[in-house]
Amino acid sequence: MRGRTFSREHILQEFQQHCQELAANDNAGYKQQFEDLCDVGQEFSTRAGELDANKNKNRYPYILPYDHSRVRLSLLESILHSDYINASYVPGGSSARDFICTQGPLRNTMADFWRMVWEQNVHIIIMVTALRESGKVLCDQYWPPERGTGCYGNIQVTTATCKRCPESYITSIYLQQSGSSSRRKVTHYLYPGWPDQGVPHNLSSLGAFVEHVRQHMDNTQRLGPTVVHCSAGVGRSGSFVALLWLTQLCVRGILPDVKATVQDLRRHRVLMVQTLEQYICVHKCLLHWLGADNKDPQSRTQGAHLHTSVPQQSQPRSRSQNSRKSTRRAHQSETAHSHTQQPSQSILQALHTHLRVIHPSNLLRRMRPHSTNPQTSANTHQ
């Protein structure tokens, strides 16, 4: 049985009303929903990332992958812990492994990054951060300059072409494993105008970029997960995956539920959609995208303006070494003054109707939240 679908105009009308209700009383609804998400995932362990042997592989010491959803590399010559990389499988519409969200590679993890790309059969990499910001290195450049070749472990990486678009850079990269004559093409998207722990100033630019990537993914055979990364691989990466997922739902006539989406993402990687500002931005960008004319996405993409200036920012917030719970308590204290406002009942009722009738094999099945049983998740993702 197929669930009822809605027109784009109807989805826009419902979602616009929903956003207005969340924004009332100084964003009280947004604040309450974001506070409700603070404890999601706290039951999951991060033992692999905490090991002394792996500490220097983490860009930020308290942004660690959950054990049940972490990407495992093949062991190098049986070297203990050589399977670790700070990367997590996350859902996106069809399975629990549609995307890999990861930190920006460090100099000492570049070879691991490209090994992951090769082993996971990745053909699309989406980078939503600048390399540097206010003098800070947010991500080391892990691919060669234009028309250059570099070796990272046993993977040879060749940059073939780099195209500058209004809102991004699109680079064609070819990979070749040592001892093999076969090559693989990887498309690398770079969107540099999104500040760390912040939001882009131009929603039209972000919406155009999301739409361009979404269409590319729709028109490309999915051989492996799509890699998305920023600096820590949680805030901007989570926001971007959420937008891709939600726009895909809307294209198929399904009412979007941002909170349920973020909740599912946070069960696979810590702090996905890291700040309240980013949570609100996902709503606003989706609302802007719904109201835009998508009849000619290419022309809209080409006309979008790119903001290349990046404001000052800080690194991802550190969390107490004792427990992630201290950070969540801090989040809760910051939002304790917020007022609870109930979401639109018509939206929730319609969404719940969809969730009941969508067949598990359907592309949209992932809108149903996963089991929070760690043992079940571990069996599924390891």
- Catalytically annotated residue among 38, 101, 139, 230: 230
Task: Indicate the pTM of the whole model.
Answer: 0.78
Provide the pLDDT confidence category of residue 39 given band limits of 50, 70 and 90.
Answer: very high
Q: Which of helix, strand or coil describes residue 1?
A: coil
177: tokens are: 């494993």
Q: Who's near 72: CB < 8 A, 6+ residues apart? A: 83, 84, 382
Mean pLDDT of all residues belonging to the chain: 82
**pLDDT: which is higher, 322 or 32:** 32
The DSSP 8-state label assigned to residue 236 in this structure reads H
Give mean pLDDT, residues 226-235. 98
CA distance 220 to 214: 10
Give the tens place of pLDDT for each residue, 5-18.
999 999 999 999 99
Give mean pLDDT, residues 326-332. 42
223: tokens are: 């051989």
CA distance 40 to 12: 28
Lowest model confidence (mean pLDDT) among 27-36, 105-114, 298-307? 298-307
> If you search the block for the tokens 């495992």, which residue do you land on?
72
> CB atoms < 10 A from the CB of 151, how many?
13
Query: Tell me, what's the pLDDT at 147?
Result: 86
Question: Are 250 and 210 contacting, i.e. CB atoms less than 8 angstroms apart?
Answer: no
CA distance 45 to 66: 6
What residue type is assigned to position 237 of the chain?
A: S
Question: Are 209 and 128 contacting, i.e. CB atoms less than 8 angstroms apart?
Answer: no
Q: Which domains does the chain have, with CATH numbers?
A: 8-307 (3.90.190.10)
CA distance 12 to 6: 10
Q: Distances in Å between the alpha carbon of 45 and those of 48, 323, 335, 378?
A: 9, 11, 26, 11
> If you search the block for the tokens 């826009």, which residue do you land on?
12
CA distance 257 to 347: 9
- Find, among 254, 185, 190, 263, the residue nearest to 224 by Cα: 185
CA distance 19 to 29: 9
Provide the pLDDT confidence category of residue 94 given band limits of 50, 70 and 90.
Answer: confident
Q: Which of helix, strand or coil describes residue 18?
A: helix
Give the tens place of pLDDT for each residue, 153-193.
999 999 999 999 988 999 999 999 988 888 999 999 999 99
Q: Is 230 an active-site residue? A: yes
CA distance 225 to 123: 8
pLDDT at 66 over 50: yes
